[in-house]
């Protein structure tokens, strides 16, 4: 009975204690709060807060000021959440891909750089190993250009057959400037072989030539009272493609306009003489007698001599280039007889005496050296013809053994 009372009495005590405990004013609760106040370590706090900030990827203070309501907060943070999510998701793959792309690019550049340098070196070596061909082509091209230019000037000159057709301009005030000014275009000259209409080009290249023979030219002016452009008689290469015309008088002195008839007669005479002289020079060159630049000793007059010399000097580069072209193209034509494009009226037969006189001026040793050079270059036929001509000129000259053998082989 007593135990039952104690049990019944304990239940109300427990209930009261529980009620007090739930209200927070029980003795146990107070003791418990006084027992300890453990706190998490600071490093744990820092780690958790850092994780929370990293998860949202936003500045806490900044975001706190921006949010007035739940909806605005949600709307304003949608972008940052998307960006933070995108960045956290793709930052590493994008960075890795960028690193791979850069590495691959650098690798390819490094690998290809030596290859490019090697290709450049090869191209340079090829260019250095083949200079002759290029220079040969360039020389041939220059020769062709020079020949064309000379042919143009020559074709634009009046034909010796029609000396009176060339207009004679009277410019006394410019008589001293005639050499430096461009030559006025004259009517086309009707040649016997190539009646082409060509225009004159400025003859700047003739200026030094004229200046070179200024003394002779002055003599010509003083003697004939007129300054003429020398006949542009050009041999367009030794291969036979010869275009030969004569140039008309271009500039004249005004003081002699009245003596037009006399001037014209002299012009005709000169132009008849000059082609003949030129023809002899050509023959001599073909025969190896004289170089193109040598002055002929039997020039009839000082004016003709000066004009002819100027013309030869003007044609000198063309002859040299054409000779190079002839060596590479048609060497056989070098020793061929002169072409027959010369007009009969212009062609003056070269007498053996004249030729012999000219050949006497040529050094036989140099001639032999030239022939040997041609033979060394493989131009056997050219050398053979030259040796033959040399033998005719110098029957008593002791030929080298190779040339003698060449002559004996070709002369059964």
Enumerate binding residues for another protein (CB under 8 A). Answer: 14-15, 17-18, 21-22, 26-29, 31-41, 44-45, 47-49, 51-53, 55-61, 63-64, 67, 70, 73-74, 77, 80-81
Residue 13 CB, nearest distance to another protein (Å)? 9
CB-based contact 200:184 (threshold 8 Å): yes
The residue (of 65 and 129) whose beta carbon lies closer to another protein is: 65
Residue 99 CB, nearest distance to another protein (Å)? 30
Smallest CA-to-CA distance from 166 within 224, 231, 220, 217 is with 231
Task: Find residue 252's DSSP bridge partners.
Answer: 170
Residue 67 CB, nearest distance to another protein (Å)? 6
The residue (of 2 and 43) whose beta carbon lies closer to another protein is: 43
Residue 20 CB, nearest distance to another protein (Å)? 9
The residue (of 41 and 412) whose beta carbon lies closer to another protein is: 41
The residue (of 10 and 405) whose beta carbon lies closer to another protein is: 10
The residue (of 35 and 110) whose beta carbon lies closer to another protein is: 35
Q: What is the DSSP string of 145-171?
A: HHHHHHHHHHHHSPPTT-GGGS--EE-
As to burial, measured by CB atoms within 10 angstroms (0-12 exposed, 13-18 middle, 19+ buried), residue 63 is: middle
CB-based contact 309:293 (threshold 8 Å): no
Residue 402, CA atoms < 13 Å, CB-side half-sphere: 11
Contacts (Cβ under 8 Å, ≥6 apart) of 307: 216, 217, 220, 228, 230, 231, 270, 274
The residue (of 51 and 353) whose beta carbon lies closer to another protein is: 51
> Alpha helices, DSSP H only, in 243-301?
260-287
Smallest CA-to-CA distance from 206 within 309, 96, 97 is with 309
Residue 83 CB, nearest distance to another protein (Å)? 11
Task: Find residue 169's DSSP bridge partners.
Answer: 251
Tokens representing 388 are: 């033959």
The dihedral of CA 285, 288, 293, 299: what is its sign?
Answer: negative
The residue (of 57 and 364) whose beta carbon lies closer to another protein is: 57
Residue identified by tokens 């009176």 is 164
Tokens representing 117 are: 């340098």
Residue 81 CB, nearest distance to another protein (Å)? 6
> For the CA atoms of the chain, what is the radius of gyration?
53
Residue 365, CA atoms < 13 Å, CB-side half-sphere: 0
Smallest CA-to-CA distance from 246 within 231, 235, 234 is with 231
Residue 3 CB, nearest distance to another protein (Å)? 17
The residue (of 51 and 261) whose beta carbon lies closer to another protein is: 51
Residue 106 CB, nearest distance to another protein (Å)? 40
The residue (of 80 and 347) whose beta carbon lies closer to another protein is: 80
Residue 95 CB, nearest distance to another protein (Å)? 24
């Amino acid at each position: 009975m007593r135990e039952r009372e104690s049990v019944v009495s304990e239940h109300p005590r427990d209930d009261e204690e529980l009620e007090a405990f739930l209200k927070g004013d029980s003795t146990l609760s107070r003791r418990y709060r006084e027992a300890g106040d453990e706190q998490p370590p600071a490093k744990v706090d820092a780690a958790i807060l850092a994780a929370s900030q990293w998860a949202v990827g936003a500045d806490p203070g900044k975001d706190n000021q921006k949010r007035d309501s739940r909806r605005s907060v949600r709307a304003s943070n949608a972008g940052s959440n998307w960006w933070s999510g995108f960045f956290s998701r793709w930052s590493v793959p994008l960075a890795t891909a960028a690193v791979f792309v850069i590495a691959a690019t650098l690798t390819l550049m490094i690998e290809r750089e030596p290859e490019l340098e090697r290709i450049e070196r090869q191209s340079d070596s090829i260019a250095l190993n083949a200079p002759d061909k290029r220079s040969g082509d360039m020389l041939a091209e220059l020769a062709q250009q020079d020949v064309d230019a000379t042919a143009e000037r020559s074709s634009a000159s009046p034909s010796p057959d029609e000396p009176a057709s060339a207009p004679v301009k009277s410019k006394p005030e410019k008589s001293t400037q005639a050499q430096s000014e461009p030559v006025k275009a004259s009517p086309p000259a009707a040649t016997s072989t190539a009646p082409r209409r060509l225009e004159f080009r400025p003859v700047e290249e003739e200026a030094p030539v004229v200046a070179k023979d200024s003394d002779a030219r002055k003599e010509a002016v003083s003697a004939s009272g007129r300054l003429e452009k020398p006949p542009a008689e050009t041999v367009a290469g030794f291969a036979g493609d010869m275009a030969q015309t004569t140039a008309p008088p271009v500039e004249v002195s005004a003081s002699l306009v009245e003596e037009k008839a006399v001037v014209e007669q002299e012009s005709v005479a000169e132009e008849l003489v000059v082609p003949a002289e030129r023809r002899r020079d050509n023959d001599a060159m073909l025969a190896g007698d004289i170089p193109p630049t040598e002055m002929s000793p039997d020039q009839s007059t000082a004016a003709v001599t000066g004009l002819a010399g100027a013309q030869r000097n003007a044609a000198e580069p063309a002859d040299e280039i054409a000779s190079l072209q002839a060596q590479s193209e048609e060497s056989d034509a070098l020793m061929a007889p002169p072409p027959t494009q010369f007009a009969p009226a212009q062609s003056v037969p070269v007498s053996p005496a004249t030729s012999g006189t000219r050949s006497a001026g040529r050094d036989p040793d140099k001639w032999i050296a030239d022939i040997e050079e041609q033979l060394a270059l493989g131009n056997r036929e050219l050398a053979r013809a030259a040796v033959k001509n040399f033998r005719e000129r110098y029957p008593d000259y002791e030929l080298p053994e190779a040339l003698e053998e060449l002559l004996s082989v070709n002369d059964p």
